[in-house]
Amino acid sequence: MTGELAPVPPGLLAGARAARRIVVLTGAGMSSESGIPTFRDKVSGLWARFRPEDLATPEAFARQPAVVWAWYEARRRQVARAQPNAGHRALRELAALSHVQSLAVVTQNVDDLHERAGSAEVLHLHGSLFAPRCFDCAHPFALPADEGAGAPEVASLPPPRCTRCGGPVRPGVVWFGEALPEAPWRAALARVAAADLVLVVGTSGLVHPAAGLPDTARQNGAQVAILNPDADARGAPGDIVWQTTAARGLPALVEALGAA
């Protein structure tokens, strides 16, 4: 690893050395260093320029499917052009350390950067841009590998049709007003409840029910560490709060553990 690495808080280093089961909860800040815009930033966030109710609800898709599909396809192509950053890669290396029995990534992000960086277990709580499905029957839809490659962003693009029922294909993300997918949510709860260490990386902790996962970890005796560059980042009593970004902090933690 190259570049300046952040000094690791001693409490986190000790906790990570002892941890056998690690869970990493990631949010938009995890991918922002790969050039993926966040949704909630007041200035540059995606919802600073668009109203969520115009693009991110089932009603919006039913009303103007070509507009919604075009917008999400542009986001998917943007992600496809992006590359995992040092923080994503560090999680793969953390999982490979000899004392770590398991490492699960529980993410609110809808990109595939964790997978492309090599993380083996990634639980997508808010769905994925790369897993579209039928709006009518929920049958998965496989996009061609080169779908949209190099295409310019357009304001309107009719969605493909379901190969099973002919219904319109929708983005595979969780929209406002929709429940989280049950299987990854249940798996996330189980991983967090069994964890020794939970790293909360790049998330504001404002979106529920995912925001309640650190409480589950604390109630089951896990150490919770929050990695967030914001000066006003806070945790619960007993948490470790480290003011750092994913791409600086996670490589520093892996290097410190490897040197131990």
Residues with a catalytic annotation lie at 126
Q: Specify whether the CB–CB gap between 211 and 230 falls below 8 A.
A: no
Query: Which tokens belong to 33?
Result: 């260093």
- Tally the C-alpha atoms within 13 A of residue 212's C-alpha that lie toward its C-beta: 4
Cβ neighbors of 135 (< 8 A, separation 6 or more) are 58, 61, 62, 65, 159, 167, 168, 169, 170
Cβ neighbors of 24 (< 8 A, separation 6 or more) are 91, 103, 104, 105, 106, 198, 199, 201
Which amino acid is located at 229 in the chain? P
Q: Specify whether the CB–CB gap between 38 and 28 falls below 8 A.
A: yes
CA distance 207 to 245: 20
247 burial (CB, 10 Å; 0-12 / 13-18 / 19+) is buried
Cα angle value 110/95/259 (rounded, 5°): 130
Closest CA to 46 of 66, 31, 61, 25: 31
